Chains A and B, each alone.
Chain A
Amino acid sequence: SAVISQKPSRDICQRGTSLTIQCQVDSQVTMMFWYRQQPGQSLTLIATANQGSEATYESGFVIDKFPISRPNLTFSTLTVSNMSPEDSSIYLCSVTQGSYEQYFGPGTRLTVT
């Protein structure tokens, strides 16, 4: 399975600022995904990022708030913009390998004060 790393592993940010989260994979993958896990909740898909095209956002998530870059087949970034305390969550990236399963990074734990 792919080895996925994320930076930073955690951060505490002030409201109104932005944070960019990096996701690095040890092999080339076509599709990368970004999820949010709010405290005590399940995972919710934010967007799907394909290399060379615009990210596809799920209902309730917009590009202005969560801009995503996918410059190559092993790397992606998610920015959480103009943060508020409601953005405090764990943010995870994942990749597809094989036909179906996804493998997840360790997550970035974000606290907004």
Chain B
Amino acid sequence: AQSVTQLDSHVSVSEGTPVLLRCNYSSSYSPSLFWYVQHPNKGLQLLLKYTSAATLVKGINGFEAEFKKSETSFHLTKPSAHMSDAAEYFCVVSVNTGGGNKLTFGTGTQLKVEL
């Protein structure tokens, strides 16, 4: 079984400062990991993915995440926050169980960006 823990339900940063959204995972298999973003009243958008290639993954809009197996972490970072980054972020683990890739979502982190 797999699980995801997002350590912060809410994160607030000032525009232009770094963003750190924390995620720890648990998986019996070699996981694939994702970050999705959900803007208010919008659908889910894939930010980035880790699938056992490079451990530092770059995504859209300047976001990146580093897979650390020893720490079972996949934290999302961005050097400089923008007002448009305010949204809900979900860390997701995927495991291929033979019946397809099942996604397990974290509980989400609400990012607030202030002037």
Contact = CB atoms under 8 A, between A and B. Distances in A.
Best-surrounded residue of B44, B90, B96, B106 (most CB of chain A within 10 A): B44
24 contacts: A1-B46, A31-B100, A41-B107, A42-B106, A42-B107, A42-B108, A43-B103, A43-B105, A44-B105, A45-B102, A45-B104, A92-B43, A92-B44, A96-B100, A96-B101, A99-B101, A100-B32, A100-B49, A100-B51, A100-B101, A101-B34, A101-B94, A102-B101, A106-B43
Given A42-B108, A101-B46, A105-B43, A48 B99 contact: yes
A43 B90 contact: yes
Nearest to B46: A101
A8 B103 CA distance: 24
Q: Which 10 pairs between the two chains have the least Cβ-Cβ distance?
A: A104-B44, A106-B43, A100-B32, A42-B105, A43-B105, A42-B107, A31-B100, A100-B51, A42-B108, A104-B43
Query: What is the interface residue range for chain A against chain B?
Result: 20 to 34
Nearest to B108: A42
A76 to B, nearest CB: 14
Nearest to A32: B100
A56 interface: yes
Nearest to A30: B100
Contacts of A50: 100
B103 A45 contact: yes
A36 to B, nearest CB: 11
Query: What is the interface residue range for chain B against chain A?
Result: 20 to 34
Contact of A48 (B42, B43, B100): B100
Interface in B32-69: 32, 34, 36, 42-44, 46, 49, 51
Nearest to B49: A101
A100 B43 CA distance: 19
B106 A107 contact: no
Nearest to B107: A42
A42 B54 CA distance: 28
A106 B32 CA distance: 23
A107 B60 CA distance: 22
Nearest to B36: A104
Contacts of A92: 43-44
